[in-house]
Amino acid sequence: MSEHLLIVDDDEDIRELFRTYLAGVGYTVSEAADAASLRRALDTVPVDLILLDQRLPDADGLVLAREIRAVSDVGIIIISGFGQPVDRIVGLELGADDYIAKPVDLRELLARIRSVLRRRGHRQPAA
């Protein structure tokens, strides 16, 4: 059984790009376009790692990361158009395991996903 990743981004093209790439390397991938969909997904299926956009239409990703971390040890990588050091620091302090600025190189994203999952004791799909 492969790790389950949840992509949370209001941009459908980004979700599709990430889903296609990550499913292609062996991950099970679900998608959510907003905070409400994120919460429903977390109530429905076990998730190993969340790729969380910082700016969603119905919530701030940093606030969501803090809320999720308060109740779960799921891996969280914030993906954001904000790439200043203060943005990354705040994201990490609020509970994210990693923070990546957009635009995202897919190979770097994969390496960071594997790193977070490895630190959390998950096995990796064969590449």
Q: How many CA atoms lie within 13 A of 2 on its CB side?
A: 16
Q: Does the reported pTM lie above 0.75?
A: yes
Q: Please state whether beta strands 98-101 and 59-60 pair in parallel, antiparallel, or not at all (unpaired).
A: unpaired
Q: By the 8 A CB rule, do 97 and 77 touch?
A: yes
Is the dihedral angle over the CA atoms 61, 62, 67, 72 positive or is it negative? positive
- Tens of pLDDT along the chain (127 residues) come to 589 999 999 999 999 999 999 999 999 999 999 999 999 999 999 999 999 999 899 999 889 999 999 999 999 999 988 767 787 888 888 889 999 998 999 999 999 999 999 988 865 544 4
Q: By the 8 A CB rule, do 42 and 77 touch?
A: no
- The DSSP code for 33 is S
